[in-house]
Structures are given as C-alpha cells and as structure tokens.
Amino acid sequence: MKVIIAGAGIGGLTTALMLHARGIKAEIYEAAPEVREVGVGINTLPHAIRELAEIGLLPALDAVGMRTRELIYLTRQGQEVWREKRGMDAGYVVPQFSIHRGRLQKVIHDAVLERLGPDAVRTGCRLSGFIQNEGGVTAHFTDTVEGAGGLTARGDVLICADGIHSVGRRSFYPDEGAPSWTGVVMWRGAADWPVWLDGRTMAIGGGMGGKFVLYPIAPPEGDRQLMNWVVNIRVKDPAQSPPPPDNWSRPARLEQVLPFAKRFSVPGFDIEGLVRASPQIFEYPMADRDPLPRWTFGRVTLLGDAAHPMYPVGSNGASQAILDARCLADNLAKAEHPRAALWAYEKERLPKTAEVVMLNRKGGPERVIDEVEKRAPAGFDDVNEVLSRADRQAIVGGYAGTAGFSVNVLRSAQGA
C-alpha cells in the first residue's frame, strides 16, 4: 500500500510516522517552500503525547518543550477560579507538553526524514485536485516555488491534511464558504523572560470575550526561559464583520495589542513587560468550521484541521490531529481494503471530534471562568460562594472526559 499525504503539518507528519511504523509507505507533499519553525506556543495533552511516545519521540520533545505541571484559571482581575495539576503530576503515565508549535513540528519532521528518508517530504507542492478509480487515486500538485507545471502522484489512498483552507475539503464541499468567526482576534507572541513560579505553570485569565494566556514553552536557560502569551479580545460582531481573507498569522503592531493586554492581571507577573519584550506579534482570527457529515469519499479522506478545525481552547487542536493519525494508521494496517479502512477511521473519529468542536465553541474547560465572571463581574471574596467546587469540577472534568484525556481513561488504556 502507498499513501499520499497533502500537508506537512503536525497531523500529516505524524500520520506518515504512524504508517511507517506499520510498514505502510507514505509520501508527503507540502505547499510551503520549506518546512519551517513557524507559529508560537501550543499545548499537547497526554492522550496525544502517549501516541508520540510510542513512536519514540519523548526524548526529543523533552529537549525542546516543557512538561506542564500546573494549570491555573483566573478572572480578568486575577482572582483564582480553578487550579489543577497537569500531566504526570496529575497521575498520567505520560506528560503534557507546553511547546513552540514550530519546534514540535520540527521534532516530528526530523523523525520523518530520518525514518522514511530525505525525500519523504516534497515541498513547494500544493494539492490542486485528484481523480480516483477502483485501482487507486492520482493527486495533482502545482509548483508553488517556480510556477512550473507541477507533478502527479499515484497511490492507494490520499490523506488531505492541508489545514483549515483544505483543497480536499473544498472539493467535497465547494459551497461551504469561509470559516466561522467568533469576532475574537487573537494576538500571540513570545519572549525570553525570567522564570515564573516553577517554570512549568500555565495561567489563563478571563473568558471567551476577553482572555490572557500565559505559559513557558522551552526549558530554562539559567534563570530565563521562552514565555508564550496570547491575548484574545472580541472586537467585532461576526454576523456583521466576517474575517478578512488575509488575516491568518499576519504581523501586528505593539500599539494594537498593548491596550488590551493591560486589561488583565496575573498575580506576580508583569504582563505589559512581557508583551513589550516580544520581538514579534502575530494576529489570528479565532475561527473554526461546522462539523461535517462525512470526511471520506472513496479513497480520499480528511485529517486534522482539514477535517475538524476548532477554537484553540482546551489545548486540543494539535492533540486531536495526532489522535486522527494513530486511528487512521491502525485502520489502514488491519483493513482488507483501503476504502474499509477510511470508513472505519471516519466512523471512530468524526463524532468524537465534532463533539469537541462544539464544546470549544462554548469555551471548553475554560467556560468555568465565564460562569464565574458572569455571576460575579466585580469580583468575589470566596469563589465557592459564586460557583461550587463540584460545579466547577463538572465543567473542567466533563470536558476532559469528552475530549478523551481523562486521567482514569488513559491510565486504564495503558494498564496502569
């Protein structure tokens, strides 16, 4: 069997590694001229790290990322709403990682080149279309570097892991239109900064309409480490103002962001100083797409953000793509026919990811902050008088169970 993968993001690269581990040949085609370390910070949860650990990537992840120890939810004013241990400190058998997205991608990319060969990833090749028959699928790629005639690739299966603006998805759903936008703009950056608390703590202050996120994404060097931050602000009515098409990861100016950042407080942390110290600031719309009725058409299917782009709450975007990769590889390895494998993959993953997409629209586990701020907008003396611990646990823990990273579920699956 030979699998063609469109997209060398985290989902596409992980899929190639999973397939290789099962003796299935994979070729990756990436639209960008090169695979670069782009983006800022992300969190990858234990259910996804378990899969990366099984293909031997844990030491490389430890070299470039941080094992998250604790998560704190705060109001915008800095009052504590919830605090919990994370990763192995919470009893998981594998860690949670806070990591630079580009470095996570590089760890997986390096492993692909080492195991599948230096020609396993062909860059400058954007998927433009495909045709299929009972014998296989032929994918057509355009040359994004020199504008030449492009190339074709023939395989048994085509995996479209080409992101929220997926060509494969658009070919199946040509009338879907632009992604859904909340009216929230996300500004993101990172800077070398003095180690905060234990150097392994993550803080989130504020709900869906206005939020500040803070966590380290690299091991300390002396008394400093790379600190990631995000400011989310609802700036427009999405019904009246769709996101501009060029507004994906574009540079932003300090004066755009700083007035919003100064609205938030994290005890013992200089938010303004961190934002000012960031050499680059990027702007993103908080966008997703509605869950689809199906991902698979014959020998072609969708994976990761091409299948289920979701709001970046609950730390689940990259994690769900990694789970897709494992499920798809398992089914291709055991099915008698590729079509049966893709059908089984979709049957397992589509409903699970659709539920996460819808929960993230409501705020995911961070909805606990919205609930407290809604009931006590001016602050509180005792959070338990605003929302009981049991009610807060139900919001946070309920999301973990639905998204598949409940500690009890994962420990049971590991036989721990």
Give the tens place of pLDDT for each residue, 363-396: 889 999 999 999 999 999 999 999 999 999 999 9
Query: For the chain, how many helices (H) and strands (E)?
Result: 13, 19
Q: What are phi and psi of 402, to 5 degrees?
A: -65, -40
pLDDT of residue 262: 96
Model confidence at 409: pLDDT above 60? no
Q: Which of 34-48, 108-122, 158-172, 204-218 has the lowest mean pLDDT?
A: 34-48
Q: How far is CA 81 from CA 131, 360, 392, 416, in A?
A: 53, 19, 8, 31
Model confidence at 176: pLDDT above 70? yes
Model confidence at 356: pLDDT above 70? yes
pLDDT of residue 249: 72
* Residue 193 to residue 272: CA distance in whole angstroms: 12
Does residue 23 contact residue 177 with C-beta atoms inside 8 Å?
A: no
- Work out the end-to-end distance of the chain between its first and last CA atoms, rounded to an integer number of angstroms: 35
* Helix, strand, or coil (residue 383): helix
pLDDT of residue 416: 44
* Residue 21 to residue 204: CA distance in whole angstroms: 37
pLDDT of residue 246: 57
| Strand pairing category for 224-234 and 210-216 | antiparallel
Find the mean pLDDT for residues 346-371.
94
Model confidence at 244: pLDDT above 70? no
pLDDT of residue 90: 93
Does residue 360 contact residue 314 with C-beta atoms inside 8 Å?
A: yes
Report, in angstroms and rounded to the nearest whole number, the Rg of the chain calculated over CA atoms: 21
* pTM as predicted: 0.93
Residue 35 pLDDT grade (very low, low, confident, very high; cuts 50, 70, 90): confident
Model confidence at 45: pLDDT above 60? yes
* Residue 404 to residue 45: CA distance in whole angstroms: 10
Find the mean pLDDT for residues 42-53.
94
Interacting residues of 194 by C-beta distance below 8 A, sequence separation 6+:
223, 224
H or E element: which one contains 79? none
Q: Which of 184, 181, 164 is nearest to 173 (CA)?
A: 164
Give the tens place of pLDDT for each residue, 188-230: 999 999 999 999 999 999 988 899 999 999 999 999 999 999 9
Place of tokens 């690269």: 13
pLDDT, greater one: 149 or 302: 302
* Residue 227 to residue 220: CA distance in whole angstroms: 10
Model confidence at 415: pLDDT above 50? no
Model confidence at 37: pLDDT above 80? no
Q: Which two tokens stand for residue 185?
A: 């703009």
Can you say whether the dihedral through the CA atoms of 219, 224, 225, 230 is positive or negative?
positive
For helices 46-54 and 317-334, angle between their N-to-C axes, nearest 10 degrees: 40
Tell me whether residue 89 is exposed, middle or buried, using C-beta atoms within 10 angstroms of its C-beta: 0 to 12, 13 to 18, 19 or more.
Answer: middle
Model confidence at 268: pLDDT above 70? yes
58 Cα distance to chain centroid: 18
Three-class DSSP labels, 221-278: ECCEEEEEEEEEEECCCCCCCCCCCCCCCEECCHHHHHHHHCCCCCCCCCHHHHHHHC
Model confidence at 280: pLDDT above 70? yes
pLDDT above 70: percentage of residues in the chain: 96
Residue 178 pLDDT grade (very low, low, confident, very high; cuts 50, 70, 90): confident
pLDDT of residue 366: 92
Q: Which two tokens stand for residue 132?
A: 């299929």
Mean pLDDT over each residue of the chain, to the nearest integer: 92
* Residue 416 to residue 413: CA distance in whole angstroms: 8
pLDDT of residue 411: 54
Find the mean pLDDT for residues 282-298.
94
297 secondary structure, DSSP code: B
CA atoms within 13 A on the CB side of 261: 25
pLDDT of residue 40: 81
Give the tens place of pLDDT for each residue, 58-101: 999 999 999 999 999 999 999 999 999 999 999 999 999 999 99
Q: Which two tokens stand for residue 152?
A: 């074709």
* Residue 55 to residue 18: CA distance in whole angstroms: 8
* Residue 178 to residue 164: CA distance in whole angstroms: 10
* Residue 332 to residue 15: CA distance in whole angstroms: 11
pLDDT, greater one: 4 or 400: 4
H or E element: which one contains 415? none
Q: How far is CA 213 from CA 190, 227, 252, 326, 395, in A?
A: 11, 10, 17, 29, 19
Residue 38 pLDDT grade (very low, low, confident, very high; cuts 50, 70, 90): confident
Model confidence at 182: pLDDT above 90? no
Model confidence at 335: pLDDT above 70? yes
